[in-house]
Homo-oligomer: A and B are copies of this chain.
Amino acid sequence: MIDLLATEKELISRHIIPGGVCADFTMGNGHDTLWLSRAVGETGKVYAFDVQQAALDSTARLLKEENAHDNVTLILDSHHNAANYIKEPICVGMFNLGWLPGGDKSITTLRETTLPAVETAIQLLAPGGGILLAVYPGHEEGRIEGELITEYLSTLNRKQICCSKLQIVNSPTSPFFFLIEKK
Q: A3-B164, A162-B3, A164-B4 are in contact. Are A157 and B170 (CB under 8 A)?
A: yes
A158 interface residue, CB < 8 Å from B?
yes
Q: How large is the interface on A (under 10, 10 to 19, 20 to 34, 35 or more residues)?
A: 20 to 34
- B14 near A179 with CB under 8 A, answer no
Chain A binding surface, main DSSP class: mixed
Q: Could you tell me which A residues sit within 8 Å of B by CB distance? A: 1-4, 7, 10-11, 14-15, 128, 130, 150, 153-158, 161-172, 178-179, 181, 183
Residues of B contacting A156 with CB < 8 Å?
170
User: Are the CB atoms of A170 and B154 closer together than 8 Å?
Assistant: yes
Contacting A2 at CB < 8 Å: which of B15, B165, B168, B171?
B15
Determine the chain B residues whose CB is within 8 A of the CB of A158 once the complex forms. 168, 170-171
Decide: A1 and B183 in contact? CB cutoff 8 A: yes
